[in-house]
Structure 1
Amino acid sequence: MADVQHIFIVGSKGIPGAYGGYETFVDKLTEYHQDDIRFKYHVACKAEENSEFEYHNARCFKVKVPKIGAAAAIAYDVLAIKQSIAYIKKNKIPHPIVYCLACRIGPFARKFRKQIHKLGGKFYVNPDGHEWLRAKWPLPVRKYWKYSEKHMVKHADLLVCDSKNIEKYIRESYAKYNPQTTFIAYGAEIRRSRLADNDEKFTDWLAEKGLKPKEYYLVVGRFVPENNYETMIREFILSKTSKNFALITNVNESFLDELKKKTRFDRDPRIKFVGTVYDQELLMKIREQAYGYFHGHEVGGTNPSLLEALASSDLNLLLDVGFNKEVGEDTAIYWNKTQGDLANIIEKADAMIETEIKALADASTKRIADAYSWEFISGEYAKVWVK
């Protein structure tokens, strides 16, 4: 038993079934390690009651969270770590690792690290992206995020950063704490969709949305200002492309109304808000059959939708920021927020010949296979666990 490394993962909503970045990460990590006898995972799952079940050979423990609004996320992490510590004590688990995803519980980090160390364990943290920069948070919440991040960095035994840019930021901003960091990216599937090009599920979806294969540009992502929907829509309207622009996103009515007023996109029939797609095979097929993919995210680390686009879509047009260039390197085309820049790039993309597009498509898929496949990422985590 002493040879088994127990890893307690706290901070995702849980597995299976949730499709956020952290949830997909935990799902894939436990899937790829389910037959590895060196590791035993214990995964916290947000729930209505406390109980346990097994999934991918991981022990999934449900944590009942009080209904206290925005503070529920903090309470969830605190309760999950408390349950983990109690389990470690009760079962006399040697050298456990408690791995906390995101920096929500900074005020409690010192206390928890002391308790974990007392049990012979380590406290690891994934600092996520610049959560305190996100426009969705009011100022007091942003201040809390920044304060919390500082204390998580200060008290973590190791910070596992999913972006080199985040790692650089942590090392420079918190140099006085001499943070121990390592870089392990987020992962992606590199296979093709199981749906055929003529599968009814896909062709019916296209017909319903008024789209044709290779005749639409695509974006998939959360409907928030820092993902630059306004710039993408405004520039698309400016361009002379005859293709459509399909936006797969969970629409927020107030932000949608604001965009409508600013861009008048409702007057352009090419712009189509097509709702959400939770069927992963269908979403993969939609990406594969897009003419081009837009990525406007400028806050956060390695973004899951960017990896999936580079793995699946032929032509990727990315906002020119460090996070995106780090991942895409020379396998994508980059745009900035200067008026006319993206519109001009769209028209150039329309004029590209098949061999140029294929060269970029092959290069971006290889880039993901080499550095971001789930198999590779789970192997990198194994190295960290057995240190």
Structure 2
Amino acid sequence: MGVQHVYIIGAKGIGNYGGYETFLQKLVEYHQNNSNIKYHIACKANGKGYMDEKKLPGAITVDDKHFTYYNADCFKVEVPEQLGSAQAIYYDLAAFKECIRQCQQENIKNPIIYILACRIGPFMGKYVRQVHKMGGKVFVNPDGHEWKRAKWSKPVRWYWKTSEAGMVKRADLLVCDSINIEKYIQDEYAKYQPATTYIAYGSDIYPSKLADNDETFVKWLTDKQLKPFEYYLVVGRFVPENNFETMIREFMKSDSKKDFAIITTQDDVFLNELDQKLGFKNDKRIKFVGTVYNSELLKKIRENSYGYFHGHSVGGTNPSLLEALGSTKLNLLLDVGFNKEVGQEAALYWSKEDGDLAKLINEADNMGQAEIEELGKKAKQRIKDAYSWQFIADRYEEVFNLK
């Protein structure tokens, strides 16, 4: 059989600070020596979160619109920035058109167009027909309940929900990254009889390359006034559905002598609102420590935390949770379906009920070392069994009919 061309759209780039971006980096990396597959990846040329391949080790710039990364041909799509929140819709559509144009120009038969997230449902029909004409297929990765996110207004939520329905109806296959999402798609859209499959998101369990006395790590700790194993940690976007408010409020209520380090994007408006509600700036233990884009340093910070909090309440399999299980021994997760699906017996769980997490923090502070080590072992085993990147890359080969 010839080479299978796979076009991927919907991520801002490769290896940026986001789930899809990390997924693309790993997929291409793990398939770099696979001669049966050729990736073509759309990246954002400008605006927020644009792709700068100079920051991606191994990427080679071809010209200002193209670069290569292992065996992937990456092309950049310009987005009019005045579009505001409609940028994402424009970007996916422009990328979809460009994929079709490339297939027609290069006379590529039977391409697979793989769309990450459900943003262009109302416009899908026309383009799907064009792909089918070339003998190709359209796959969709439905992101976890985008329409539930608190940041969207009612009309925008309505659009996301309608868009999701349109994508589910027209996709040849929906690749769901969590069993909960797959079940939701099957139940919610039963009338379309959607073809679905489950492929998780991946992670690894290699320790950080940085030594305990590495200058970068030691300087970071000193700057942030933190000590190894004397801080709890959370890493994530500063959005309401990640429940920072609950975690901070409950930590303030706890008797913990440890610090709470929060690695997140800076959002001063949200921070000030939160401080007015909680007054956390008066609690010396609560430390907003900015962002960390150096992945080895971030891993080292996770490994040296006493415990990790995870408060995500929407979405599928969450990348930051997998990374935490791969690196941190003690993980305290919000008790919702897809966090439990991932963590199983390898983590402790809390609810948003008043006092519940504070009580768990006090218990965690008093846990014996043997108990913590046992949880750490289980967490790593969980990643090995179900979420290793090699396992995920192999599953994608099956779905692309290459195995």
Which category of TM-score, normalised to the shorter sequence, fits these structures? over 0.9
- Once the two structures are superposed, the pairs formed by residues 79-228 of structure 1 within 5 Å of their partners are 79-228=94-243
- 1-side partners of 2:379 and 2:373: how far apart? 10
> Do the aligned partners of 1:159 and 1:182 also contact (CA within 8 Å) in 2?
yes
Return closer, same or farther for 1:252/1:330 CA change in 2, 3 Å cut-off.
same
Q: Quote the residue 2:58 is aligned against.
A: none
The counterpart of 1:51, out of the listed 41, 65, 88, is: 65
Secondary structure at the counterpart of residue 75 of structure 1: helix
- 1-side partners of 2:170 and 2:64: how far apart? 28
Q: Does 1:268 align with 2:280?
A: no
- 2-side partners of 1:299 and 1:319: how far apart? 11
> Could you tell me how far 1:264 is from its partner in structure 2?
1.1
Q: Quote the residue 2:3 is aligned against.
A: 4
Extract structure 1 runs of 4+ deviating beyond 6 A: none
> Could you tell me how far 1:253 is from its partner in structure 2?
1.3
Aligned residue identity for 1:275 = G
- Once the two structures are superposed, the pairs formed by residues 6-85 of structure 1 within 5 Å of their partners are 6-15=5-14, 17-48=15-46, 51-67=65-81, 68-85=83-100
Counting matched residue pairs gives 385
**Structure 2 portions without partners, runs of 5+:** 47-62
What is the percentage of aligned positions where both structures have the same residue? 62
> Could you tell me how far 1:51 is from its partner in structure 2?
2.6
Aligned residue identity for 1:165 = N
The counterpart of 2:254, out of the listed 239, 259, 283, is: 239
**Structure 1 portions without partners, runs of 5+:** none
- 2-side partners of 1:158 and 1:362: how far apart? 36
1:331-358 C-alpha deviation (Å, 9 max, x unpaired): 0000001111111111111111111000
Q: Quote the residue 2:295 is aligned against.
A: 280
> Could you tell me how far 1:19 is from its partner in structure 2?
2.1
- 2-side partners of 1:222 and 1:62: how far apart? 25
- 1-side partners of 2:237 and 2:22: how far apart? 16
1:88-116 C-alpha deviation (Å, 9 max, x unpaired): 11222121100000101001111111111
2-11 vs 114-123, which deviates more?
Answer: 2-11
Aligned residue identity for 1:218 = L
- 2-side partners of 1:171 and 1:236: how far apart? 38
Return closer, same or farther for 1:208/1:75 CA change in 2, 3 Å cut-off.
same
Aligned residue identity for 2:177 = D
> Could you tell me how far 1:66 is from its partner in structure 2?
2.2
TM-score w.r.t. structure 2 length? 0.94
- Once the two structures are superposed, the pairs formed by residues 297-312 of structure 1 within 5 Å of their partners are 297-312=312-327
- 1-side partners of 2:76 and 2:226: how far apart? 42
Secondary structure at the counterpart of residue 309 of structure 2: strand
- 1-side partners of 2:98 and 2:355: how far apart? 54
258-267 vs 301-310, which deviates more?
Answer: 258-267
Secondary structure at the counterpart of residue 187 of structure 1: coil
Secondary structure at the counterpart of residue 217 of structure 1: strand
158-167 vs 65-74, which deviates more?
Answer: 65-74
Secondary structure at the counterpart of residue 81 of structure 1: helix
- 1-side partners of 2:93 and 2:247: how far apart? 39
1:45-72 C-alpha deviation (Å, 9 max, x unpaired): 1115973221111111111222222212
Aligned residue identity for 1:149 = E
> Could you tell me how far 1:166 is from its partner in structure 2?
0.6
Aligned residue identity for 1:51 = K
- Once the two structures are superposed, the pairs formed by residues 216-365 of structure 1 within 5 Å of their partners are 216-365=231-380
1:210-253 C-alpha deviation (Å, 9 max, x unpaired): 11100000000000111111111111111101011000111211
- 2-side partners of 1:230 and 1:62: how far apart? 37
- 2-side partners of 1:71 and 1:272: how far apart? 34
TM-score w.r.t. structure 1 length? 0.97
Aligned residue identity for 1:18 = N
Return closer, same or farther for 1:50/1:106 CA change in 2, 3 Å cut-off.
farther
1:24-81 C-alpha deviation (Å, 9 max, x unpaired): 1111100100100110001011115973221111111111222222212111111111
Aligned residue identity for 2:293 = Y
